[in-house]
């Protein structure tokens, strides 16, 4: 982000629900894609940004796509890092990609996924985050059981096995996105790391 700022761009990097210091709803409905899209539109509204170049990595890429699909006037451009188009998932991705996405099924298993990550002083999480520049900081946050469960909420709500089998995420229907863009950014810690 420093390079973008140096080039004259204004950058905003909110923590997603369940990540970092953001809200951690206890109910899975709080992690619904429509809620996330509304949060992101609310951040743009809060900072009086009528349109933006959307850049997303991992879940941020899926959410940036959903913002662009459901609020096209807000997206000047879209850059996706590390993931493809949301319609390219599921069986259409092929067996090799499905094998690489094994962890999405693990994340559906409440308590089991949390135990797997935290076992042996978070050894599996350390291996998972081997190249992450803030690995120990992330693990320190995950020692809070609510934080670890919240981090898995976006997978559990939006990518249960039946959605993965059907081909992945789809655009939100009008009823789900109605009124979702009127939030303020007050619930978010904005910073340059989204872990």
pLDDT in tens, 70-117: 889 999 999 998 877 777 766 777 788 778 888 888 999 999 999 999
Give the separation between CA 78 and CA 65, rounded to whole angstroms.
7
Q: Could you tell me the CA-to-CA distances from 143 to 34, 122, 137, 138, 146 in Å, in that order? A: 28, 9, 10, 9, 9
Q: Which domains does the chain have, with CATH numbers?
A: 2-187 (3.40.50.1820)
pLDDT in tens, 115-174: 999 999 999 999 999 999 999 999 999 999 899 999 999 999 988 776 655 555 555 654
pTM, two decimal places: 0.77
Burial 166-191 (b: 16+ CB within 10 A, else e): eebbeebeeebbeebbebebeebebe
């Amino acid at each position: 982000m420093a390079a973008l700022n140096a080039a004259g761009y204004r950058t905003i990097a909110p923590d997603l629900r369940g990540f970092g210091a953001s809200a951690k709803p206890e109910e899975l409905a709080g992690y619904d894609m429509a809620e996330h899209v509304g949060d992101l539109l609310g951040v743009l509204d809060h900072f009086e940004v009528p349109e933006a170049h959307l850049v997303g990595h991992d879940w941020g890429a899926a959410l940036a796509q959903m913002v662009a699909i459901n609020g096209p006037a807000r997206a000047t451009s879209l850059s996706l890092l590390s993931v493809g188009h949301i319609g390219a998932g599921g069986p259409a991705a092929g067996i090799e990609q499905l094998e690489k996405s094994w962890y999405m099924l693990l994340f559906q298993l409440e308590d089991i996924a949390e135990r797997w990550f935290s076992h042996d002083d978070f050894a599996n999480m350390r291996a998972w985050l081997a190249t992450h520049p803030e690995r120990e900081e992330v693990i320190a946050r995950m020692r809070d059981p609510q934080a670890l469960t919240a981090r898995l909420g976006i997978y559990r709500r939006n990518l249960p096995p039946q959605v993965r089998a059907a081909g992945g995420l789809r655009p939100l229907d009008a009823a789900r996105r109605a009124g979702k863009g009127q939030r303020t950014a007050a619930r978010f810690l904005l910073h340059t790391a989204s872990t």
